[in-house]
Structure 1
Amino acid sequence: MTDTTAVFDQNPEASFGDYVALLKPRVMSLVVFTALAGLVVAPVSVHPMVAFTAILFIAIGGGASGALNMWWDADIDSVMRRTQGRPVPSGRVAPGEALGLGLTLSGFAVVMLWLASNWVAAGLLAFTIFFYAVIYTMWLKRSTPQNIVIGGAAGALPPMIGWAVATGGVSVESVLMFALIFMWTPPHFWALALFMKDDYSNAGVPMLTVTHGRRATRVHILVYTLLLAPLALGIAATSIGGPVYLAASLLLNVAFIRGALRIWRRDESAAEADGYAVEKSFFKLSLYYLFLHFVALMAQSGLAAYGLGGW
């Protein structure tokens, strides 16, 4: 990690938007959505005020981990085109400010979630922040091409936290929601790595495209997509699944496998010729894939509340 204080001294004072950007609002939105899904599909009803405050503190915890990530990764963020404009590498926010904000919000979110719900949910949130900020950001990201595979656990925990808010514990269903995101993360980010070209190699990040080559990355995307499909479909057989979810999952997995096959068949000359159109399309599809799976779970839960849509 390099010192960006000198850069900061040459730039104007940070705006409110810069501090919001530190919290990675796009990532935070995924955390909020999947945590809400875990809470909604849980078999225990939660008072609306408890649900609202719990999701709020989960969001703050997710944002806190984003701030810690930006503090530590300022050096490589300054090299990568995709991240050069972030508040710390651009010098709009001092590294110490990012660190202080991340630590303060982390402690606040965990304590308040404990008070608002239970210690299991708070413990899972604390572990999520620690895993993302320390295990993934400080260790895995720069040391192994399995960074995205193992590090994906941090992004996969929010539905378990939401479930724990409602039930006070962990179950097969919440573990399967975790597994769905965990297995989805590698093909999602490897597709991004394919069309980001030299960003990761320039930053010295051992992404699979850098360490094993782009052909191997295409193979890995297909393999993980094929492993993901039965897991996603298997959720239909649990207490949170049903015919509505199964139908949605079938359509989504057919499209996802088709996209992975198209990526697998491609070579670099074809990809460069059309500006990585297939890879970019698969990356966008991956966002819809995850979002619509959790929408289907919530729709199935809503129907079940009225005695409809079950097996």
Structure 2
Amino acid sequence: MAVIVVVAMDRTPLFHLSVPCEVLGADRSDMGLPRHDVRVARVGRGPVRSSSGVTLQAPYGLEALDDAEVVIVPWWGRLEDEQLPARLLTGLRRAHARGARIVGLCGGAFALAEAGLLDGRRATTHWRYAEELAARYPQVRVDPRVLYVDEGDVLTSAGTAAAIDLCLHLLRSLSGAEVANAVARRMVVPPHRAGGQAQYVDVPVPDVRADDGLASAMRWALEHLDRPLGVEELAEQAVMSRRTFTRQFRRRTGTSAHQWLLQQRTILAQRLLETTDLPVELVAGRSGFGSAVTLRTHFQRTLGTSPRDYRATFSRAAHPEPERIAAV
């Protein structure tokens, strides 16, 4: 059995804390499956208060890191006025130096970065915090598209449910694919999810004033995404020269007109896949991608999945409302 230490800090969400315990340490001897020695270690003295206010008694202290083969940091609140305890950072560095694998789940990636374990490495975190991670730790190569990253001795995952994906991956490396697949079936989750977290990112429409030419051009474009649009057409709708329009668009939205159009076409294609049963070819046409081949290529490049798999995950048809039983 591998000794796995899960670090419990105040305000850690119960879900993040429980995932490694459930995936890696639950007793499934009734299925003939092995279990690992999972130990929950508190950072400070006394009980740990979770983000939901539940108080937990962790049986170990940070000295447990000295015997761990795997150390998992589920979460760090990343509060600007709060620093990670020096004892934890030292413990993470010492465990890593002697060969332990260090894992950061979601915001736990910030703890690994603070300890310097992600310098020059590829890593991920929840898509909402990816820009912050990259800004605070420029030595880290942040990839916000994936569900998890395995760099061998350091591993990181995206938000919330991606902790399950990474813990199953870790179990696969410790006990083999057969055990990981059996545990996934027992938990009623897929042993491996297709695509990355890019398909879950909520991309807002840029905030622009409603009474100017730029806003008018953007509204017009959203109504004609099925047409082959370019900067010239948008500039004409805005009653601007191409040069002025291009400069104003980037200044006001933070991106180029071309990238914005691609973004809006992608959003439209996603909505059509979610809410209709239109063939992929028609979805491609209505969203302005022209052909199913182009749509598939773009989805794979930007969302890390295919239109078919995206529909299977998010469409209403794939997940119908449960039947309502009338009261007698």
State if a TM-score over 0.5 links the two structures.
no
TM-score by length of 2: 0.33
Larger radius of gyration: 2
TM-score by length of 1: 0.34
Whose strand fraction is larger, Structure 1's or Structure 2's? 2
Whose helix fraction is larger, Structure 1's or Structure 2's? 1
